[in-house]
Amino acid sequence: MTDQIERARAFRALHVKGDPVVLFNVWDPGSAQAVVKAGAKALATGSWPVAAAFGYPDGEKIPLTLALDNFRRIAASVELPATMDLESGYGPAPATVAATVTQAIEAGAVGFNFEDQIVGGGGLYEIAVQVERIKAAADAVNASGVPAFINARTDIFLKAKPDEHSDALIEQAVARAAAYEKAGAHGFFAPGLGDPALIEKLCKAVTLPVNIIALAHVPPRGKLAELGVARISHGPVPYRKMVAWLEEQARAAISG
């Protein structure tokens, strides 16, 4: 427990606006160890690659027990802080969210992503509802004794095409960030957002460290640092590139 607490504190300290920590997302112990060798300061799973590695689609389709066992093996195989993608908490009820968070921490997590989309429903939880869910997650963190990092994700920008992102969506995101912070979140994750001006506007308006995912339309690391980003993750991109390479190599070998 002492090691986990120290790792959790170290992980929190990595979130600095303008000097973002880079999380090259992993999906099993082997990929985790490869990223460690590359010089990573911390590790993070992504729900999509973990599910895909076990033959499941994304969206809480992989059984939670399997995802937790996989994460437990990842955390035990490395000495770096590791954070887990918990999607939407595996259930709408705050009590369910709290139970999921507790299990993740018991599996070795020092943080977790927690999104506001309604899995299977297509929309987002109303702010008041999501606030109660984040409060439950924060209570579970406090009860555990491990200062785990709650990375509150909003899917506002994933629900709209990049060319539809606007100041109006930023205002919605800022309102959610403020409410989530008050509920106990430690970071704000805005996947899908890629416009430099809008990223900068979000980082200036939000007191929480902002997490951006490095998708194709997103500025490079140096530019994101200039804009005030504190955390850069890579989501499903590493897994997809790895699988594409594997398929290409297999096709060449099979075809001769």
Token digits of residue 89: 């908490």
CA-CA distances (angstroms) from residue 212 to 56, 58, 252?
A: 25, 20, 36
Closest CA to 212 of 159, 157, 168: 157
pLDDT at 2: 82
Question: d(Cα 84, Cα 23) in Å, to the nearest integer?
Answer: 11
Locate tokens 């969506």: which residue?
A: 169
What are the pLDDT digits (tens) for 166-177?
Answer: 999 999 999 999
CA 9, 184, 148: angle at the middle one, nearest 5? 25
Q: Cβ neighbours of residue 150 under 8 Å, at least 6 residues apart?
A: 111, 112, 114, 134, 137, 138, 141, 184, 185, 186, 187
What are the pLDDT digits (tens) for 129-178?
Answer: 999 999 999 999 999 999 999 999 999 999 999 999 999 999 999 999 99
Whether the predicted pLDDT of 48 surpasses 90: yes
pLDDT at 122: 79
Closest CA to 66 of 83, 84, 82: 84
Question: d(Cα 82, Cα 248) in Å, to the nearest integer?
Answer: 31
CA dihedral 42, 141, 76, 62 (to 10 degrees): -90
| 156 residue type, one letter | I
